Homo-oligomer: A and B are copies of this chain.
């Protein structure tokens, strides 16, 4: 296994992303908050001030874990355990700010190989200790908050040492990647081979290969590079019963596609230790530009036509009027004096001739639908700021605002109904609590038959922002279900979407998942309560 070439980032337990990239609120934003009377409240507890009880894992299990991975790779320090507590959702951050350590693991175990992962799972299965597979730690749906009832302890299984580029097949254009590699490391190592994965979720700086796979990640360039589950051609799963190796070909008719049963299983069926993915040559040309549509309807027509008849840009997203006005695309800018309408971003990556031809044809479609050019500056601003938006949440929480996002996906004909239903549900649930909300929306990912909608919600915090958001989230979940849409496009199920997901797949679907889990994880130690209830 190669040594880390990138600086090691120490992520904070109570903040989004890489601490070196933290940003302050733009002046305009603070002025707007002041005008709305939003003031700091619910002062946070500093992680350094949190005192944890000693780890609860039985001595025999700890001894077995130390035998499996080496004592140096079993951590029980408070800050280590806090860093492995929950993920990056607003509720998760609020809980940490409140000093709530109910979900903190007892130990952090860092295996150095697939076989060591299997050994850890066997030790925990034998000892009745729950395991939270942890790679990026970026879940925003409560995917790192297992139900510890009935277990002798909880171990965070940190895959960070599994960070090798194992193999590259330049003819087949595949690469085998270990699960603990975070996004920047993947791209750095592939770049040396002239290749790219092309997967850029907003959590890119923290998220990792294992999480991409386990939670069916979709990146901002999905129009061109596909979803992560489209990229995976093979995977290796460690389970308490041993190893399941899947994927002998790009596609086959050899039975059900069991890869697609593991992808999205969110650490409940096993621990994905490596994946083989389709990779592509590093693009020689990149062009990003902005477009302004007179209405969301006109913009939706354009992105739908591009998705259905082509050509597809590599990046394609469309903000609604409210999001365009706030100009989230450029967090350094704050509210703008832009001429209204709906901003779309198109990006093209590839060989220069191909990019030029594709861009010309896409431009014709966009203009037929009423799009007016907003220039490459707007596109470049979006590209530069593509990972920055979520960093605004921490200073907004400090300032007394409540900010969160949620997303869903449906078929094209259902997009207007779904957008209206979710907006109304969230505004209703927060308005009823005396904290009227702004709800922003964009089309984040497109398919021939449908598209995902990504919502950003902001309002003033109440005294109990967790309860406040829980009501809004419950209303959103119900609206999504009532609209016949999927409860998540790319965030996953975790615990936050579990009840709605059970309705979505029905009791037989839940039974199927439980049966698969009982087969691979007979003691039920893997992420108990995540995805489906116990």
Contacts and interface: CB of A to CB of B under 8 A. Distances in A.
B520 A512 contact: yes
Contacts of A501: 254-255
Contacts of A452: 249
A227 interface: yes
B246 A505 contact: yes
Given A249-B450, A266-B255, A491-B253, A520 B508 contact: yes
A81 B309 CA distance: 46
Contacts of A217: 253
Nearest to A498: B255
A23 B531 CA distance: 56
A472 B16 CA distance: 60
Interface string A476-520: 000000001111111111000100010011101101111110111
Given A172-B411, A248-B484, A511-B520, 18 more contacts: A216-B252, A242-B508, A243-B506, A248-B410, A252-B486, A253-B491, A253-B492, A254-B486, A254-B493, A254-B501, A254-B504, A254-B505, A256-B513, A257-B257, A257-B263, A258-B509, A511-B519, A516-B516
A244 interface: yes
A7 to B, nearest CB: 30
Nearest to A483: B248
A217 B252 CA distance: 9
A188 interface: no
Interface in A179-235: 215-218, 227, 229, 233
A252 B509 contact: no
A262 interface: yes
Question: Of residues A278, A309, A486, which shows the largest number of chain B Cβ atoms within 10 Å of its Cβ?
Answer: A486
A73 interface: no
Nearest to A281: B309
A249 B411 contact: yes
A242 B504 CA distance: 16
A261 interface: yes
A418 B281 CA distance: 26
Contacts of A245: 506
A515 B504 contact: no
Nearest to A357: B357
Contacts of A505: 244, 246, 254-255, 258
A172 B171 CA distance: 36
Interface of A: 169, 171-174, 215-218, 227, 229, 233, 239, 241-246, 248-258, 260-266, 278, 304, 308-310, 351, 354, 357, 361, 408-414, 447-450, 452, 484-493, 497, 501, 504-506, 508-509, 511-516, 518-520, 531
Given A410-B248, A515-B515, A172 B450 contact: yes
Given A229-B257, A250-B411, A310 B354 contact: yes
Contacts of A447: 250-251
A361 B412 CA distance: 31
A519 B227 CA distance: 30
Contacts of A258: 261, 505, 509, 512
Contacts of A248: 410, 484-486, 504
B515 A252 contact: no
A258 to B, nearest CB: 6
Question: Of residues A242, A258, A263, A492, which shows the largest number of chain B Cβ atoms within 10 Å of its Cβ?
Answer: A258
Contacts of A488: 252-254
Closest 10 CB pairs of A and B: A260-B260, A252-B486, A172-B411, A216-B253, A250-B447, A249-B486, A171-B413, A249-B409, A257-B260, A515-B519
Question: Of residues A239, A414, A508, which shows the largest number of chain B Cβ atoms within 10 Å of its Cβ?
Answer: A508
17 contacts: A216-B257, A229-B251, A233-B411, A239-B508, A241-B508, A246-B505, A248-B486, A250-B450, A251-B409, A253-B488, A254-B504, A255-B264, A255-B513, A256-B262, A508-B519, A508-B520, A511-B519
Given A256-B260, A512-B519, A489 B448 contact: no
Given A172-B412, A508-B243, A512-B516, A449 B255 contact: no
Nearest to A451: B250
Contacts of A251: 218, 227, 229, 409, 447, 489
Contacts of A308: 173
A244 B506 contact: yes
Contact of A255 (B252, B310, B531): B531
A253 to B, nearest CB: 4
B261 A512 contact: yes
